[in-house]
Amino acid sequence: MADHSPIEWTEATWNPVTGCTKVSPGCAHCYAETFAERFRGVKGHPYEQGFDLRIWPERLALPSKWKAPRLIFVNSMSDLFHPGVPDDFIQQVFKAMQEAGHHTFQVLTKRPERAAAMSAELPWPDNVWMGTSVESQRFVGRVEFLTGTGAQIKFLSCEPLLGPLRLDLTGVDWVIVGGESGPGARPMRADWARDIRGQCQRGNVPFFFKQWGAHDEHGVRVGKWKSGRLLDGRTWDSLPSRPLRRSS
């Protein structure tokens, strides 16, 4: 949890929940799990319990204490809609986001079916963006659950992109694409990224290319910092066209 983040498409992270369990192939080399497990058993550390699911009610008020407006990635170290997170705590998180109206919150889940099922029980202020991860064609069904929520802004994170995607972008306001980094990273083919970019351009949906990951555009393993984030010679940093909410 930090008031600044190196993640290219956000500005800060907030983790009222930590820990998770794997739900699909995109989770295989989870950076959050790798990080948290380094500290398992370290007395007094926030990740003393490793990547076991943990609820942090004491963190709910934190965004209201950050006075400067920020884009905030919610639960970079977990999934708010994990089945182990109680309904009433999810509601408390949404209330906290609603009360911190000067920020814009980006909630990303691999379990959009639960978000859709709870949608009527949640406030959906315009400063809450709802997203789901789609790493391969097998999981494009998540998009329909996402668009069934009451969020004003809905987005897709196609990261790590593990194969080509044919997407129905109806009701989708933003698409992020990125390759996998870290040990065991699987390469992303350039034509997969280009094809999604083309679908976004045809659908007038903002496209954000986050990174190549551990492999460059030719599939050669070079490391994240060497592979960079240029696609066809330039960066692609579009955000949703609706203005960010910046007033309380």
Domain assignment present for 92:
yes
What are the phi and psi torsion angles at 112 (to 5°)? Answer: -65, -20
pLDDT greater than 90 at residue 80:
yes
User: Would you give the distance in Å from CA 134 to the centre of its chain?
Assistant: 11
Q: What is the pLDDT of residue 247?
A: 41
Question: Considering the chain, what percentage of its residues have pLDDT values greater than 70?
Answer: 95
For 55, the domain range is 12-227
Q: Is the pLDDT of residue 85 over 80?
A: yes
- Is residue 110 in a domain? yes
3 within domain boundaries: no
* 195 within a domain of the structure (yes/no): yes
Q: Is residue 91 part of a domain?
A: yes
For residue 127, pLDDT beyond 90? yes
Q: How many structural domains are present in the chain?
A: 1
Average of per-residue pLDDT values in the chain:
94
Q: Is 206 within the bounds of a domain?
A: yes
Ranges of beta strands (E only) in the chain are 12-14, 17-18, 54-55, 71-74, 104-109, 128-133, 153-158, 174-178, 207-211
The answer as to whether 210 is a domain residue is: yes
Given a cut of 70, is residue 105 above it in pLDDT? yes
Residue 237 domain-assigned? no
Please choose, from the candidates 72, 103, 62, the residue with its C-alpha nearest in 3D space to the C-alpha of residue 7. Answer: 72
Which pLDDT belongs to residue 244? Answer: 45
